[in-house]
Amino acid sequence: MQANNFKRLLLTSAIAGSLSACSSGGGGSKDSTPELLPYSPPPYSSFTTQTKDPTNFATRKSDAEDQEYDGMGYALEMINASSAYARGGTGKGVNVVVVDSGIDSTHIEFEKENGSSKAVAVSNSYSIFGAVRDNNAIRHGTMVAGVIAAQKDGNPYVEGESLNLHGVAYEAEIRAFEIPLGSGSGPYEPIDLADISITEDQFFSDIFNNTDTHGEIINMSFGYEGLITNYTRSEIEAAFPQFINTLKHTGESAADRPIYVLSAGNSHNDIDAFGNVVNASSPNLLAGLPYRFSEFDDHMIAVVAVDKNGVITSYSNRCGVAKSFCLAAPGGGATASDDFILSTIPDPDGADPNFDYYSGAAGTSFAAPLVSGALAILKQMFPTVGNDEIVDRLLDTANDEGIYADSNIYGHGLLDLNAATAPVGVTSLTTTSNLNGPSAPMGSTSITITGGALGDSLTNSLAAQNLTVFDSMGFPFQIAASSLIARPQWVPETSNLSHQQLTSDSGWQIRSGRDIDNGYRDRNFHPDMKQLPSRDYFAMQFTDPNTGRETFTGARANPGWFFGVYANTNLQPASTTRDDAFAAPWLQFARQGWSSGGALASGKQKLRFGVFRGEASWDQFSHDNTVEGHGALIEWAHQWRDSGISIQGGALSEQQSFLGLQTQGALGQNGSSNTWFSGLNAYWQMGTQWQGVLALYGGVTNPQIQNGLLSVNDELFSSSFAMGVSSRSMWQQGDQLGFYISQPLRIENGDAQLQVATGRTVDRQVTYEQLGLNLEPTAREVRVEMNYRFDMGMARASTSVHYVQNPGHNSQADNDAAATISVSLPLRF
């Protein structure tokens, strides 16, 4: 077989020109030198997890757009390569195979830090014909390789003296297969398939039988002249039986087949032997193969070229019948002197690194390697995604707006690495072992916390953890697991309810609370404060002076205010900053509703009982929410002359939550969670003016979460306490001075498990791991306060100072201190 048997194979570069130290332009006519295409495959050794956009994405993107980024010309900017770089896409660890005229593996843009080359010639096939492989011969292949993977070395750029650039996948590596190629010069002459010899067919079959062992992305910037529409399937199979069979990769799954990237051809507006202008409305023979062989649809891409204005070039074949597997990328314009793609050329002998190491050229030969480099970036970022899905993603995310909507010219549109490397559509959490199964959008998947029982336990347990979500195409993206928490609990500093209490001699007692915020919420605490509803409440109680029996009812009042030390002493909701510090804390999950009950008296003993139903309100600033609870409370109380004790027992049933925690979407659905609790209240007189009070509570909760990724142990133990001393009539009649210390509801022990996706396999199977979550907060909130209340004419004045250590049971939270002064008019019959 002679070398001229391959004269029909044409390089698809339209223009090639050299730069000198005083020139920055490129120009010329069709290159007459044979050249090779390089390719590089991915080895799967050093891949990193792909995450969604980092918080400094814009800065990283801007930093990537340096002089080296602009060195190639406009190409990288047009395809939005800097967005991929900002997301960590560089092609690292991926080999791209270049089947072309050969490469100069010693070029400075291919030299690694250890002195080896990132561009390796795998097979010097052309040498069997005795051809001399001088710099001119390997020029085309070296340029194609540079577009793909010229490294980002940070070498200085000196205007007018030197040039520096990097390829689209600048950390990828090149594996080059050298083949003999014709020049592409002369009149347009479609190949006659009858001239293809068995030897030629065998040659290409042998080459491509070896390429996919060196890389999964194979760049082919060459082709036979002649549009694919000029040939039938049977004619092609008769001419290339072995080559076609090799490209089919029979027996391999679509996910494992290598991806072939082919330049569509430069035949448009060519002149044939009869002087006719060629209308290249479709790609050439090789690039158009999937049109005749549907078996190639999922692993072949044809590439047409656009100029610096993003418009199809005058020379480029159009997508035409290949529109379903065709893409556009910058290739340089054939007529504008400053419209070309800059890339590497073989080093001139003895020359220092300068303009002579680079050249400008145009053609679909240089559009194709931009696509190959883009595929290398995707392969690095998504190493466990099948090659067929990688191809679909690059095509489906192309810019198809405006002029690119014309699929007959641009196919799927213009290559867009920003869209290709960002999540497509909504991201979801999957709950099954296969991506084809059900999933839940992240927008409807969350953990919502009402109240502070869990403190920082969940955010702390999830702080260093990631989980994998999948976009609408099934590509994995990592997010912080803590982002599942929709709204971390926050701690209000002061009470803005004006509590009133009036007691009559006939046994009636009326309590009310009025929201006196009056715009204060517009400025403080929480971004949604303006939208919080009023929390006015009303409670009424009657105690029969003769029998001691009690009847009570309340609306939006904490049911605990009818029990324990609130019922047996002069302690009132207004006595403490947290107005229910001495009440059973689980009652807060039904505070915004109604309660009713009574008491039976027998001597110095009372048996109180009550029922309640309502929405959760952890504090007076809580949002309306879907956390609802109902339950019952019973209490035995005994009073002595100077002291008293009461023992409480109760049950709370939360609807679709447990201890204020709700899950949605893929995490599961809350059922009815039951809490059984008990408490001890006590008070004692200390002299004539001072009184001590104590409240201790403990409860066990059985959470229910079904059909989701989150599971919780059968029982959670929680607690709260409050204690203090108060005086009455110290300095004036009816004044009150109090000192209190309290701990709000806190989970004391409990564990949960969160099953999170860690990734996927090439056959769309989802991999999981189970995270253990400790539901006990890292710290204990303790609130210390002092207040003084006294009459001031017709009004009642109150001053309060408090200090909170570890607010929200969070060891990382800043301790809080506040002082308040308020004045109110008391209720009067």
Give the model confidence (pLDDT) of 547-598 as tens digits. 889 999 999 889 999 999 998 877 888 888 888 899 999 998 888 889 999 9
In a domain, 748, yes or no: yes
Which of 150-159, 360-369, 393-402 has the lowest average pLDDT? 150-159
Phi, psi values for residue 819, rounded to 5°: -135, 140
pLDDT score at 468: 93
Strand 173-178, strand 95-100: pairing: parallel
Distance, in Å, from the CA atom of 221 to the CA atom of 215, rounded to the nearest integer, reads 16
CB-CB contact of 196 with 240 (8 Å): yes
**273 and 377 share one domain:** yes
Distance, in Å, from the CA atom of 484 to the CA atom of 461, rounded to the nearest integer, reads 12
Flag whether pLDDT at 691 surpasses 60: yes
Cβ-based neighbours of 250, under 8 Å, separated by 6 or more: none
Distance, in Å, from the CA atom of 245 to the CA atom of 621, rounded to the nearest integer, reads 72
Please tell me whether residue 259 adopts helix, strand or coil conformation: strand
pLDDT score at 615: 85
CA distances from 267 to 11, 316, 341, 584 (A): 11, 6, 19, 84
CB-CB contact of 201 with 239 (8 Å): yes
Describe the crossing of helices 139-149 and 364-381 by its angle, rounded to 10 degrees: 40
**524 and 410 share one domain:** no
* CA proximity to 363, closest of 289, 328, 327, 313: 313
Most confident option among 13-22, 297-306, 336-345, 472-481:
297-306
Element (H, E) at 499: strand 497-503
Measured torsion, CA atoms of residues 408, 410, 411, 415, in degrees rounded to the nearest 10: 180
Distance, in Å, from the CA atom of 601 to the CA atom of 608, rounded to the nearest integer, reads 9
Task: Tell me what the pLDDT averaged over the chain comes to.
Answer: 84
Beta bridge partners of 198: none
Distance, in Å, from the CA atom of 471 to the CA atom of 423, rounded to the nearest integer, reads 5
In a domain, 451, yes or no: no
**Sheet architecture: strand order including 661-664:** 485-487, 446-449, 661-664
In a domain, 139, yes or no: yes
Phi, psi values for residue 572, rounded to 5°: -125, 160
Per DSSP (E only), the strands in 192-248 are: 217-220, 222-224
CATH code of the domain covering residue 755: 2.40.160
In a domain, 472, yes or no: no
**Sheet architecture: strand order including 476-480:** 439-441, 428-430, 466-470, 476-480
CB-CB contact of 474 with 389 (8 Å): yes
pLDDT score at 774: 93
**411 and 502 share one domain:** no
Alpha helices per DSSP H over 249-381: 289-292, 364-381
Residue 791, token pair as written in the block: 């009459």
Q: What is the mean pLDDT of residues 718-734?
A: 90
Distance, in Å, from the CA atom of 585 to the CA atom of 619, rounded to the nearest integer, reads 11
Flag whether pLDDT at 520 surpasses 80: no
pLDDT score at 349: 67
**235 and 122 share one domain:** yes
pLDDT score at 424: 95
Q: What is the mean pLDDT of residues 478-505?
A: 69
In percent, the amount of the chain with pLDDT more than 70 equals: 84
* CA proximity to 679, closest of 659, 653, 700: 700
* CA proximity to 630, closest of 564, 582, 574, 559: 559
**242 and 359 share one domain:** yes
Cβ-based neighbours of 384, under 8 Å, separated by 6 or more: 476, 759, 760, 761, 762
In a domain, 427, yes or no: no
* CA proximity to 683, closest of 583, 569, 580: 569
Flag whether pLDDT at 643 surpasses 70: yes
Residue 778, token pair as written in the block: 């890292």
Q: What is the mean pLDDT of residues 433-452?
A: 87
Residue 462, token pair as written in the block: 């999830």
**502 and 370 share one domain:** no
Task: Pick the last residue of a domain from 398, 421, 444.
Answer: 421
**648 and 545 share one domain:** yes
Strand 766-774, strand 537-543: pairing: unpaired
**396 and 529 share one domain:** no
Cβ-based neighbours of 505, under 8 Å, separated by 6 or more: none
pLDDT score at 41: 27
**377 and 524 share one domain:** no
pLDDT score at 599: 95
Element (H, E) at 99: strand 95-100
CA distances from 420 to 378, 382, 390, 391, 625 (A): 8, 11, 9, 10, 39
Distance, in Å, from the CA atom of 455 to the CA atom of 101, rounded to the nearest integer, reads 66
Which of 37-41, 278-282, 425-429 has the lowest average pLDDT? 37-41
pLDDT score at 700: 97
Alpha helices per DSSP H over 397-544: 407-410, 417-421, 457-462
Distance, in Å, from the CA atom of 585 to the CA atom of 558, rounded to the nearest integer, reads 10
Beta bridge partners of 554: 539, 595
CB-CB contact of 89 with 381 (8 Å): yes
Task: Pick the last residue of a domain from 369, 397, 421.
Answer: 421
CATH code of the domain covering residue 408: 3.40.50.200
Flag whether pLDDT at 504 surpasses 50: yes
Strand 736-749, strand 716-728: pairing: antiparallel
CA distances from 788 to 53, 625, 690, 731, 802 (A): 53, 34, 14, 11, 12
In percent, the amount of the chain with pLDDT more than 90 equals: 57
Flag whether pLDDT at 533 surpasses 60: no
Residue of 570 and 139 predicted with greater confidence:
139
In a domain, 609, yes or no: yes
Phi, psi values for residue 667, rounded to 5°: -75, -20
Neighbours of 200 (CB within 10 A): 18
Please tell me whether residue 589 adopts helix, strand or coil conformation: helix
Measured torsion, CA atoms of residues 224, 225, 227, 230, in degrees rounded to the nearest 10: -90
pLDDT score at 569: 77
What's the sign of the alpha-carbon dihedral 83, 88, 91, 94?
negative
Distance, in Å, from the CA atom of 427 to the CA atom of 714, rounded to the nearest integer, reads 31
∠ CA 547-552-558, nearest 5°, is 140
Residue of 228 and 162 predicted with greater confidence:
228
Which of 224-233, 704-713, 742-751 has the lowest average pLDDT? 704-713
Strand 446-449, strand 661-664: pairing: antiparallel
Q: What is the mean pLDDT of residues 820-828?
A: 69
Which of 287-291, 394-398, 535-539, 671-675 has the lowest average pLDDT? 535-539
Q: How confident is the model at residue 404 (pLDDT cuts 50, 70, 90)?
A: very high
∠ CA 646-648-653, nearest 5°, is 160
pLDDT score at 353: 65
**408 and 503 share one domain:** no
Q: How many structural domains are present in the chain?
A: 2
pLDDT score at 38: 28
Which of 182-186, 526-530, 748-752 has the lowest average pLDDT? 526-530
* CA proximity to 709, closest of 739, 681, 649, 667: 667
Q: How many helices (H) and strands (E) does the chain have?
A: 15, 40
CB-CB contact of 616 with 450 (8 Å): yes
Most confident option among 59-63, 498-502, 566-570:
59-63
Residue 552, token pair as written in the block: 């009570």
pLDDT score at 620: 46
**265 and 407 share one domain:** yes
Q: What is the mean pLDDT of residues 172-196?
A: 87
Flag whether pLDDT at 395 surpasses 90: yes
Distance, in Å, from the CA atom of 567 to the CA atom of 553, rounded to the nearest integer, reads 13
pLDDT score at 388: 97
pLDDT score at 516: 58
CA distances from 728 to 472, 572, 687, 690, 725 (A): 67, 13, 11, 7, 10
Residue-number span of the structural domain to which 106 is assigned: 3-39+52-421
Task: Pick the last residue of a domain from 421, 443, 466.
Answer: 421
Distance, in Å, from the CA atom of 51 to the CA atom of 480, rounded to the nearest integer, reads 9
Distance, in Å, from the CA atom of 510 to the CA atom of 538, rounded to the nearest integer, reads 8
Q: Which amino acid is at 411?
A: G
Distance, in Å, from the CA atom of 256 to the CA atom of 387, rounded to the nearest integer, reads 6
In a domain, 791, yes or no: yes
pLDDT score at 198: 93
Most confident option among 125-134, 174-183, 605-614:
605-614
* CA proximity to 358, closest of 698, 62, 660, 21: 21
pLDDT score at 792: 80
Most confident option among 96-110, 388-402, 473-487, 662-676:
388-402
pLDDT tens across 65-107, in order?
999 999 999 999 999 999 999 999 999 999 999 999 889 998 9
Q: What share of the chain is helix, strand, coil (3-state, %, to 5)?
A: 20, 35, 45
pLDDT score at 532: 47
pLDDT score at 495: 52
Q: Ramachandran region of residue 729, left (φ > 0), alpha (ψ -120 to 50) or beta?
A: left
In a domain, 491, yes or no: no
**403 and 502 share one domain:** no
pLDDT tens across 355-392, in order?
788 889 999 999 999 999 999 999 999 999 999 999 99
Flag whether pLDDT at 29 surpasses 80: no
